[in-house]
A and B are shown apart, each in its own frame.
Chain A
């Protein structure tokens, strides 16, 4: 219970929490559990780079709070409002919009962690609840695959991880497969060029 809440508050990234717990549960070592969790969370590096120009006016303390609360959902919703058809122009309102979204997710996540730690055991085994995790990440994966380079990254990342598992790389398989996927996507992107390079920042902003 204390560990569950500590994990959710200190890490606040569900898939990585579960992956780390699974590795430790099966007798894996701490270093591999941490490495796998960080591999899963490496995508926040991209979100951080993408949000940075929209938060450039905010104070350091605010930006650290933005960083701590960064999730897939908060990123996706906020960037939609920072860039989309009617972008929020005022920096302080951007910050408030983000914090409103992100804090809602944070509260929901912490509440659900406590509820799960107390009552999770009473859910019957016949309900495949653990399948909700790959499903949720599948729903995030689909919109992340937009062009040839990202198709290559997804194919090599997924198949690479499965191949690594089959070859006996065990807990390190995700780190190996995902790294191969990132390299493959980058190589394909360098070869074909990419029409959506500006996706990381607002269009026409000179790459900031």
Chain B
């Protein structure tokens, strides 16, 4: 169980930090001239790197142990293929959830 003090400290600090990140460039937008190429290049890498670090462990390490031969890894590959081919987020989500529920029924 999480202590209330710990929970609120996390909430407030994450809130302040997240707002600062979101406001960063927007706040100086009126006097923003050019962003140096190296900074632009690194900024562009953030979504791919961070989202992948979030997604991959959930697919191939669902129970805290590396395991590629289980439903979630298979469903992840299927969903990635669907998302890539169709670009349809809703379809990717619904098909992915459906496939996982189906596979878990089959494998018990």
Contacts and interface: CB of A to CB of B under 8 A. Distances in A.
Interface of A: 3, 6-7, 10-13, 15-17, 19-21, 24-25, 30, 33-34, 37-49, 51-53, 55-58, 60, 63-64, 66-68, 70, 126-128, 131-145, 149-151, 153-162, 165-166, 173-174, 177-186, 189-190, 194, 196-197, 199-200, 206-208
Interface majority SS (helix, strand, loop, mixed), chain A: helix
Interface of B: 2, 4, 6-15, 17-19, 21-30, 32-35, 37-38, 40-61, 64, 66, 72, 75-76, 79-80, 83-84, 87, 89, 92-93, 96-97, 100-101, 104
A34 B17 contact: yes
B18 A13 contact: yes
A30 B45 contact: no
A131 B72 contact: yes
Among all A-B residue pairs, the 5 with the closest Cβ atoms: A181-B49, A157-B49, A185-B45, A158-B56, A10-B15
A199 B28 CA distance: 19
Contact of B32 (A37, A52, A58): A52
A161 B29 contact: no
Between B6, B23, B72, the greatest number of chain A beta carbons within 10 A of the residue's beta carbon is seen for B23
